[in-house]
A and B are shown apart, each in its own frame.
Chain A
Amino acid sequence: MTDANFTDKDIPNPRSLTKTERRTKRRKAAEKRFRAYGLTAILAGLTFLVILVYSIILNGLPAFQRTVVSIEFTLSAEQFKEAEAALLKTRVYSNYFITSFTDTVNGLGLSSEISSDSIDRIVGKIGGTLRKFYRNNQDKVGQPITFDLPASSLVERYFKETFSRESISESNRFIRAEDLDLVDALADAGIIRQEFNWLFITGVDTGVDNPGGAGIGAAVLGSFMMMTVVLILSLPVGVAASIYLEEFAPKNWFTDFIEINISNLAAVPSIVFGILGLAVFIQFMHFPQSAPLVGGMVLTLMTLPTIIISTRASLKAVPPSIRDAALAVGASKMQAVFHHVLPLAMPGILTGTIIGLAQALGETAPLLLIGMVGFVARYPETILGGFEGPNSALPAQIFNWASRSDAVFVEKAWGGIIILLIFLLSMNIVAVLLRRRFERRW
């Protein structure tokens, strides 16, 4: 065919080289739209991340601040005796404190006469702290001592601006509007102030009536114990299983069966591992409930597939020439693996293990089933006993606080999440650094 008899009339739509056609325009617009969808999706994902992080930080940071009433107080020897003889000892202590506090404040001449009831409403539960202090330091009786005692839950929230003057109703017996005036005045006088809440980091869980004093230290320790168990159990077992499967396993139905099991276990919901722990470890073997040992064993079974998969990948990445070289100079197969392949694969194995541990650290559901949500308000007495005794764990403690009604506990739960995420972040950073530092290209 030649171009000679090919005219514009033969094509349905005459084309111009300079003017874009309608169809081309449409196609280009579709292209742009499609691209925009992709960009929107990414931005949506990132927006979710930003909102999540923002709400964690916004809600969690206040947990690291606490409002304290700091004032000088003297307990006379007679008062000490009287309080120890009384029936409700802590109540008597706090009454002495409140009376002394009221006198001090009235002595400052801040405003009109202040009733001890207001002071009572402003300070939190202090009797126990006072009593413990004086019982342990009996020589301090009769001397003036400056105490930093927690303010009440509502005053705390007033300072953190989650509780406003307008929301006080007449019938509220926990706080009155005039109390907040007093709080403002005391804050100006430097008696009520905010400080960093070390108690939150080092403390233990408290009862529902004392949300301000609750701390996460014991739960962090419990999680740490559990992670120790997971590390001790899962690293050797995971590495041994991977070495077998990657280096020694014959190609037969049994090896296939093991591999199918591992890949299926990786996809089993975590709560099913909780059921396994409950039925096998607790009901059948009678291991203690709420113990980090049992929690660690359940989490080990859960993380093993992850560790095995990543370990196998890093064993596979070691080139066969290394094995061949070892075998050629007379090493046995076992020696080639343990002396040469394993050390070279170690950075990868450790990275995978740390990531598996991070996953286990945040896991909550199996822990609920083996009873790690109990109220544990103390540190374990001995290290080894701590593994067997009831203990809490970081995510379980967060869940526990989230299900209580007081807003201060909710704030603590967010604070706990910040601590949890700091741990996860640092573990992941260590994993990335390990990978960067020891990564080897063959």
Chain B
Amino acid sequence: MPLSWILLVIFAIAAAGFWFGTSRVLKSVDQNVRALHSLPSYYGGNVSMWVLVPSLGVLAFWSLAQPLFIESRIAYLLEERMSNQGVTLGLMMTEVRRVADGLDSAVTENVMTTEEARSMRVELTDIRNRLAEVGVALGANVTAPIVHAAQQYHQLSATGNMFKSITVIALALAGLGYALLRTTKDFRARNAVERGILAILLFAAMIAIMTTVGILFSLIFNTLEFFKIYSIANFFFGLEWAPSFSGRGGSSSLSVIPLLWGTFYISIIALIVAVPVGIFSAIYLSEYATPKVRAFAKPLLEILAGIPTIVYGLFALLTVGPMLVTVFGDNTVGWMSGGTAVITAGLVMGIMLIPFVSSLSDDIINAVPQSLRDGSYGLGATQSETIRQVVLPAALPGIVGAILLAASRAIGETMIVVLGAGAAARLSLNPFDAMTTVTAKIVSQLTGDSDFASPEALVAFALGTTLFVLTLALNVLALYIVRRYREQYE
């Protein structure tokens, strides 16, 4: 039974349960609602909850666990049958899964009978032709053991799916029965339902924790995998980034230093653009601008923050890059040979960061109490002296926090550097050179065709970990500075 049908059945049972629960409890008091502990709909809701929660939970868990279980069995089988023919287990498993999916769709489209799909004796060529009918082309590397493994896979998952449907629907019915039995007029249905809702709310709040855990696991496991086949020292202290393109590895130098250098260089240029412009805009907007100017300029500046980064990327690649080449290119001073360079990406990223710096600083400057300014004016200071000597020092921790947040944004920015900074990893001081960054390489290593188990692909996870740790550290530092050095007024 396909998933959508199971879901439909469960929801139908739940709807029926709601009706049964409500009518049962009403009947027990002869429609006299006032004799009940809770409103009638709570009794129905309680029954629905008992139907939905256990069965959906088991369904989700089973759907996730079954493929893992089957795969470990199949992997065991494959390893026994073909010991090392130069193909990694991962690649073989991908093939097995594909063939098994093909068998599934062949059965649903009636190209094959269930029996045929399961039997081991069917000739390979026959399977190949039949699967081609449903649009699954088998490559030349699909050998008999793989097809047999796929048949096993298909059979196991068909059996598993059948048991899954039976278990889940039985569980839904059991929940229905149990809850209906408890539905009497004295049952505190509202309290039960509210406890259930509270548990659901708590579960929703815990998704944030699960996301963090998911991020950590996906980064850490694959990073450890990478360090098993590539030395840590070379990754952190090597000076060269030169992945081999064969995808089979062996000769790649994968060092993070050139990428980190590119990342920092671009971020620094971005901050050089964004920090002065951002802070001075914030000062002007909060201290000098009339309400009219403020109402007009502030939202306009904030548009810059709402524009998607792909737009900035294209802007860097197609507008700013060529413009810089006409200014600094071979025709004039000859500093710049191509449009993609550190300075291109840095400038555009700086533009993107202006509103981050300015609106955060603006809030912080506005939070400095007016009495401080008035005190300073009272001593005869001009407005700019007040700002420089009273307001800015008071707002400094917040402004530093804002700059650190902008820096973390710059380090994690992807599309602008993918499109604007170039692809060559190099350690150079020249801002007109093309360089590349951690994020750009994560994209290029993971969007290629290389095998997921190769060091060239796994290195992306190590880069991701580096990036995650860096941005997290900057964010934590920013928060710490803001909390630790914030002036407490009042």
**A contact set with B: CB distance below 8 Å:** 27-28, 30-31, 33-35, 37-42, 44-46, 48-49, 51-52, 55-56, 59, 236-238, 240-241, 243-245, 248-249, 257-258, 261-265, 267-273, 275-276, 278-280, 283-286, 301, 304-305, 308, 332-334, 358, 361-365, 368-369, 371, 373, 384, 395, 398-399, 402-403, 410, 413-414, 417, 420-421, 424, 428
Q: Judge if B232 is at the interface, Cβ distance under 8 Å.
A: no
CB proximity of A163 to chain B, nearest CB, Å: 16
Given A59-B318, A267-B475, A285-B64, output 13 extra A-B contacts at Cβ < 8 Å: A33-B384, A48-B351, A51-B319, A236-B204, A237-B207, A245-B205, A258-B209, A261-B208, A268-B215, A275-B218, A279-B217, A286-B97, A420-B310
Q: Does B272 contact A (CB under 8 A)?
A: no
CA distance A403 to B205 in the complex (A): 40
Q: Is the pair B314, A272 in contact by a Cβ cutoff of 8 Å?
A: no
Q: List 23 A-B contacts (CB under 8 A).
A: A30-B382, A31-B383, A38-B280, A41-B278, A42-B301, A45-B358, A48-B354, A55-B315, A237-B204, A244-B204, A249-B205, A257-B209, A269-B413, A275-B460, A278-B446, A286-B97, A301-B207, A334-B198, A368-B443, A368-B447, A402-B314, A420-B311, A421-B311
Contact A258 B208 (CB under 8 A): yes
Q: By the criterion CB–CB under 8 Å, are A34 and B387 in contact?
A: yes
User: Which residues from chain A contact B309 at a C-beta distance below 8 Å?
Assistant: 362-365
B214 in the interface (beta carbon within 8 A): yes
Taking a contact as CB atoms under 8 Å apart, the answer to whether A395 and B310 are in contact is: yes
**Which residues in B have their C-beta under 8 angstroms from that of A304?**
207-208, 211
What are the 10 tightest A-B residue pairs by CB atom distance, in nearest-first order?
A269-B412, A362-B308, A38-B284, A279-B218, A41-B280, A240-B204, A34-B384, A244-B201, A365-B414, A241-B205
Please determine whether B303 and A49 come into contact, CB atoms closer than 8 angstroms.
yes
Q: Which residues of B contact A275 (CB under 8 A)?
A: 215, 218-219, 442, 446, 460-461, 464
B200 touches A262 (CB 8 A): no
- Nearest-CB residue, chain B, relative to A237: B204
B422-466 Cβ-contact flags toward A at 8 Å (1 or 0): 000000000000000001001100110000100000001100100
The residues of A that contact B377 with a CB separation of less than 8 Å are none
Tell me, yes or no, whether B260 is within 8 Å of chain A by CB.
no
Check A258/B206 contact, CB under 8 A, given A269-B467, A334-B194, A369-B447.
Answer: yes
Interface contact A276-B387, CB-CB below 8 Å: no
Contacts of B194 in A (CB 8 A): 332-334
On chain A, the residues within 8 Å of B413 by CB distance are: 269
Chain A residues closer than 8 Å to B471, beta-carbon distance: 267-269
A417 CA / B307 CA spacing, docked (Å): 10
Main secondary structure of the interface of A (DSSP, over half): helix
Partner of B308, one of A30, A45, A420: A420
In the assembly, what is the distance between CA of A163 and CA of B200, in Å?
61
* CB-contact partner of B212 in A265, A280, A283, under 8 A: A265
- Chain B residue numbers with a CB within 8 Å of A373 are 447
CA distance A272 to B408 in the complex (A): 13
- The chain A residue sitting closest to B202, CB to CB, is A244
Instruction: Name B392-434 residues within 8 Å CB distance of A.
Output: 405, 408-409, 411-415, 418-419
Number of A-B contacts (CB under 8 A): 255
User: A28 to chain B: closest CB distance in Å?
Assistant: 7
Q: Is B313 an interface residue (CB 8 A)?
A: yes
Cβ of B322 to closest chain A Cβ, rounded Å: 11
Given A39-B284, A45-B281, answer yes or no on A270-B412 (Cβ-Cβ < 8 Å). Answer: yes
Say whether, besides A286-B97, A362-B309, A49 and B412 are in contact (CB < 8 Å).
no
Q: Nearest Cβ distance between residue A54 and chain B, in whole angstroms? A: 9
Q: Are A262 and B281 in contact (CB under 8 A)?
A: no
- The reply on B222 being an interface residue by CB < 8 A is yes
Check B408–A267 contact: CB distance below 8 A.
yes
Q: Measured between C-beta atoms, what is the minimum distance from A382 to chain B in Å? A: 12
B390 at the interface (CB under 8 A from A): no
Structural contact, A264 and B461, CB atoms closer than 8 A? no
A304-B208, A365-B415 are contacts. A271–B442 as well, Cβ < 8 Å?
A: yes
Task: Decide: B464 and A38 in contact? CB cutoff 8 A.
Answer: no
User: Quick one: which of A46, A245, A283 contacts B301, CB cutoff 8 A?
Assistant: A46
Say whether B304 faces chain A, with CB atoms less than 8 Å apart.
yes
B276 engages A41 (CB within 8 Å):
yes
Q: Does B229 contact A (CB under 8 A)?
A: no
Q: How far is the CA of A362 from the CA of B313 in the complex (A)?
A: 12
* CB-defined contacts of A30 to chain B, threshold 8 Å: 382, 384-385
Give CA–CA (A23, B353) in the complex, Å: 38
User: Contact between B215 and A276 (Cβ–Cβ < 8 Å)?
Assistant: yes
Residues of the B chain whose Cβ atoms lie less than 8 Å from the Cβ of A45: 277, 281, 301, 304, 354-355, 358
Q: Which secondary structure characterizes the binding site on chain B?
A: helix
A365-B201 in contact given A37-B280, A304-B207 (Cβ < 8 Å): no
**B300 at interface by CB-CB < 8 Å:** yes
Q: How far is the CA of A306 from the CA of B428 in the complex (A)?
A: 38
Most chain A beta carbons < 10 A, residue from B284, B313, B468? B284
Beyond A279-B461, A285-B64, whether A31 also contacts B382 by CB under 8 A is yes
Min CB–CB distance B154 → chain A (angstroms): 15
Q: Which residue of A lies closest to B318 (CB)?
A: A410
Taking Cβ atoms with an 8 Å cutoff, the residues of B that contact A are 4, 64, 67, 97, 190, 194, 197-198, 200-209, 211-212, 214-215, 217-219, 221-222, 276-281, 283-285, 287-289, 297, 300-301, 303-304, 306-311, 313-315, 317-319, 351, 354-355, 358, 382-385, 387-388, 405, 408-409, 411-415, 418-419, 439, 442-443, 446-447, 452, 460-461, 464, 467-468, 471-472, 475, 479
- For B358, list chain A residues within 8 Å (CB): 45
List, in ascending order, chain A residues with CB within 8 A of B468's CB.
268-269, 272
Docked Cα-Cα span, A243 to B200, in Å, equals: 11
**Residues on B with beta carbons closer than 8 Å to the beta carbon of A371:** 447
Which residues of chain B are within 8 angstroms of A369 by Cβ–Cβ distance? 442-443, 446-447
Residue of A nearest to B190 (CB): A332
Given A402-B314, A402-B317: A364 and B303 interface contact (C-beta under 8 Å) = no
Asked if B281 contacts A41 (CB within 8 A), the reply is yes
Contacts of B411 in A (CB 8 A): 269
Q: In the complex, what distance in Å separates the CA atom of A237 from the CA atom of B211?
A: 13
Q: CA–CA, A269 to B417, complex, Å?
A: 14
Which residues of chain A have C-beta atoms less than 8 A from B467's C-beta? 269, 271-272
- Given A243-B201, A272-B412, A364-B309, also A265-B211 (CB < 8 A): yes
In the assembled complex, the Cα of A361 lies from the Cα of B2 at a distance in Å of 31
B464 and A27 contact, CB distance less than 8 A: no
A363-B308 contact in complex given A275-B442, A413-B314, C-beta closer than 8 Å: yes
Residue from the set A244, A263, A271 with the largest chain B CB neighbour count within 10 Å:
A271
Asked if A395 and B288 sit within 8 Å, CB to CB, the answer is: no
- Give B481 Cβ to nearest chain A Cβ, in Å: 15
CA distance A280 to B68 in the complex (A): 13
In the complex, the answer to whether A399 meets B446 with C-beta atoms within 8 Å is: no
Partner of A240, one of B67, B201, B443: B201
Distance in Å: Cβ of B34 to nearest Cβ of chain A: 14
A417 in contact with B204 given A34-B384, A275-B464 (CB within 8 Å)? no
Residue numbers in B under 8 Å from A38 (CB-CB): 280-281, 283-285, 287-288
Which residues in A have their C-beta under 8 angstroms from that of B306? 358, 424, 428
A334 to B209, CA, bound (A): 24
| Contact yes or no, A55 B319, CB < 8 A | yes
Q: Shortest beta-carbon distance, B359 to chain A, in Å?
A: 11
Q: Say how far B196's CB is from chain A's closest CB, in angstroms.
A: 10
**A30, A258, A428 pick with most chain B CB within 10 angstroms:** A258
Are A271 and B412 within 8 A (Cβ)? yes
Residues A241 and B285 in contact in the complex (CB < 8 Å), given A42-B297, A369-B447, A417-B314: no
Contacts of A267 in B (CB 8 A): 405, 408, 471-472, 475
The interface residues of chain A lying within 8 Å CB-to-CB of B214 are: 276, 280
The answer to whether B280 touches A398, judged by C-beta atoms less than 8 angstroms apart, is no
Question: Across the two chains, which residue of chain A brings its CB closest to B280?
Answer: A41
Collect the chain A residues with CB atoms within 8 Å of residue B285's CB.
38, 42
Closest A residue by C-beta to B471 = A269
